[in-house]
Amino acid sequence: MPGFRQLTSDPQPNYKTNPPRTQTCVRRFNSAPTLIATLLSLVANAQTVPDIPHQLVEQRLCLGDLRNEWFTVIFPRAEENTNYSGHSEYLYSVVAPNGRSLFAVRRQFDASGFHQFDTLIRRELRSSDASSEEIIFVPFEALSQFAVSPNERLMVIAGRFREPNAPGKKQDGIFLLDRETGNVQPIASYDSLSVQIRSFNVSDHGAVIYEDDGAIVTFERLEGRTNRVERHPGRLPALMPNGQGYFYANAESLILDDGKSKREILHATHVIGAIRVSPDASFVAFGVGVEQDGETQLRVCDLRTKACVNGPRYVDWIAGRETFWIQR
């Protein structure tokens, strides 16, 4: 997926949920105790997988797909579309890592119909709907991609910066915005929407992570300055909401980089949808390719037990890239 693509107001797709399949290998054992222990282990594992939807319901967590004019909860159970009030249509939108706020950009045109400008908004996500819009005034003429810190104070934005003190001066790039002070700090260049940059993340302390054409790029903020720390192979990075490292996909694994080491947390083949960590850092969701029919499937895993369960399949878009955790 390019660094940015415009979402379209597609009709609600028909979801098909495939229950997880358990493959049991039957072997011949020499002792009855070993056989009993093995059977008990299989039963325990079989009980763990269906438990994930129940746990999410208890913790009031769900996964929702964002669209131009509405969002839909698709897991642990499907719900009807929740339409945004005010006839708003959003070009790009994300949910903050805390799962409680929607941030989106609405593209508008002036009276002549030629000059465009982007308006950044925030909506509080409530138990059954989204609040009215709160306009966020930022010195950007156009916003391509962005992410919000868990405390919602910091944003990393890829777009066209307009210097407030020099209206004619514009600059395309990746910037760190402090919403509280209004300070904007350039981080890296961003010359074209076709650049393969995606999966932006920013921590409460100003660490920035994103993917640049198959490489994970990380920045740290020290003494008011943001400096690049590392660049290594990997895709679809996702910060832990508690700031304790980040996940990324590499080969057939989900890797956790905790700042000291990189280690496999889950074996995951064909990860093609963005990785999302739940607000309590207990669950992870991502999209996987289904080779036999070209579809993509949502997968949700418990990080404590490593048990996983499949969510709905998708035909017309990639699972996980528009799917975000919502705290209800």
pLDDT at 5: 32
Say how far apart CA 225 and CA 220 lie, in whole Å. Answer: 8
Domain ranges, ordered by start, for the chain: 51-327
pLDDT at 31: 47
β-sheet with 154-162: strand ranges across: 140-148, 154-162, 170-178, 184-189
The tens digit of pLDDT for each residue in 210-267 reads 999 999 999 998 877 888 899 999 999 999 998 889 999 998 999 999 989 999 999 9
The tens digit of pLDDT for each residue in 6-58 reads 333 334 444 444 444 333 333 333 445 555 555 555 544 444 455 999 999 99
**Look-up of token digits 């059954």:** 128
Structure tokens at 174: 């990746």
Question: Pick the residue with more confidence: 298 or 295?
Answer: 298
Say how far apart CA 296 and CA 313 lie, in whole Å. Answer: 6
Lowest mean pLDDT among 30-34, 142-146, 234-238, 320-324: 30-34
Give me the CATH topology for the region 51-327: Neuraminidase (2.120.10)
β-sheet with 235-239: strand ranges across: 235-239, 246-250, 253-257, 262-267
> pTM for the complete prediction?
0.81
The tens digit of pLDDT for each residue in 95-136 reads 999 999 999 998 877 777 666 788 999 999 988 889 999 999
The tens digit of pLDDT for each residue in 193-214 reads 667 899 999 999 999 999 999 9
